[in-house]
Amino acid sequence: EPEVTQTPSHQVTQMGQEVILRCVPISNHLYFYWYRQILGQKVEFLVSFYNNEISEKSEIFDDQFSVERPDGSNFTLKIRSTKLEDSAMYFCASTNDRVLDGYTFGSGTRLTVV
Amino acid sequence: ELKVEQNPLFLSMQEGKNYTIYCNYSTTSDRLYWYRQDPGKSLESLFVLLSNGAVKQEGRLMASLDTKARLSTLHITAAVHDLSATYFCAGEGGGATNKLIFGTGTLLAVQP
């Protein structure tokens, strides 16, 4: 079964450093998303991406965050200057047809900011 | 904006018992989703409920949707330990790409 792949699985970074989280969505999917989950809390929407541009972003997705689809397969989330409160699990998701397929989530990247 | 609430937040049940998790949402959502999450793991899709009155079953889990009441339920029949996990419901929050809005999750612990 096709998967959404995320790397790395765990990243530890110092406060103020830049991090890039990588995702390879399912190949024929067109809609891409980033979500985050702070430990023990619910999953929160960050940003959606379609047709090579951001479709929607949440209040969490401020100027420190950016997304890119640099080639036909990768989808990245960059945090320019990490803060302690950015520590969370970050999930990438993709879909082609929500009605039939729903959304497929990647295995996540656990980001720890120290 | 869509708000999604689940209850209970924590559910401890004995093997063999039945129980229901409730998911209420505040405004219209085209579809309602249920996901399972094991500790430290990703979100596994369980059900996609497409319309009013939809009922789906997979093994010991059955999900239903009542769009008029803005309520979805996840019913667990004869629970087994393997069902221990956190269960999330999510609605579609509208917008251009219909982001998912998740509930707070229900941590299910099935005791032998």
Phi, psi of A52, deg, nearest 5: 65, 25
* 3-state secondary structure (DSSP) of residue B105: coil
| A101, pLDDT greater than 70 | no
CA-based nearest distance A42→chain B, Å: 5
**Chain segment B34-58, per-residue pLDDT in tens:** 999 998 889 999 999 988 888 999 9
Q: Is A69 exposed, middle or buried (0-12, 13-18, 19+ CB in 10 A)?
A: middle
Contact between residue B98 and residue B90 where contact means Cβ atoms under 8 Å apart: no
Quickly state the pLDDT bin for A100 (edges 50, 70, 90).
low
- Using an 8 Å CB-CB cutoff, list chain A residues near B99: 33, 45, 48, 56, 58
In this prediction, residues B68-91 reach a mean pLDDT of 95
DSSP state of A71: S
Residues of chain B contacting residue A44, judged by C-beta atoms under 8 Å apart: 102
